[in-house]
Amino acid sequence: MDLTTVIGLAVCFILVIGGVVAGGEGIAFVDFQSMLIVLGGTGGALIMSNPPERIKSFLKIMKMAFTGGSPDLVSLVQTIVSFAEKARREGLLALEADASELDNEFLKKSIQLVVDGTDPELVKAILDTEIGILENRHSSNKYFFDSMAELAPAFGMLGTLIGLITMLGNLSNPDALGPGMAVALVTTFYGSLIANGFALPIGKKLAVRSSQEVLSMELMVEGVLAIQAGENPRIVEEKLKVFLPPKQRLDLEEKAAEGKGES
């Protein structure tokens, strides 16, 4: 569970709703007609603009923003360096058994391509293509929430127009002015809240998740190609350190020092 997403979403809605209630007129922000316009309009437009499989996987896509965490790049570097050391001692074929036990499917596939004697350029082409396809898939998932962020305020404005038309059509009836004004303003509020309090943050979190996963995959590609080239494990480690931020580089060095001390 990614607590930053949960806490951020909770803080956003609790404080906004709290601010509304603190004003003493909370009931004025509850309008069924406005909900129908914004939620119904946004939902219908999303259904029209997305393929059926993406609509069906809406909850699964949203779950990505609430679950999981950043890839453990330090452990990943350690794993690849250990493969480099074994390949240096026993040859590439010795990696097959260990690769089959890996949980990371991309790394498992990468090692298997090397063990099978695939040409290095072809290995890189295959893995780069897989990364590109993953980026496209993640981009399309993010597009769903980007579309929601565009559509919700638009239907909020549509509700505002409906409210104004209602008001102008009932200028002779003072009792109708209040409900018309409520629809005009509350729909804009709903649309803005959905966009800025939910859709945009979820889309941005999905983008962060995607960039982190792509970075870890690029690290694996670099490491596997270095192993295939028979490079010294120390050189492999230095190459992969480039992908780590300074703090994680220090963590990697500390773990390496601890391992040497235990041995």
Q: For 168-225, write each residue's pLDDT tens digit.
A: 777 676 666 666 676 778 889 999 999 999 999 999 999 999 999 999 999 999 999 9
Lowest-pLDDT choice from 17-21, 89-93, 99-103, 256-260: 256-260
Tokens standing for residue 63: 């779950």
- Whole-number pLDDT of residue 163: 79
Tokens standing for residue 36: 């129908």
- Whole-number pLDDT of residue 177: 64
Residue spans of alpha helices (H) in 116-245: 120-169, 174-194, 200-228, 233-241
Instruction: Tell me phi and psi for residue 71, to 5 degrees.
Output: -60, 140
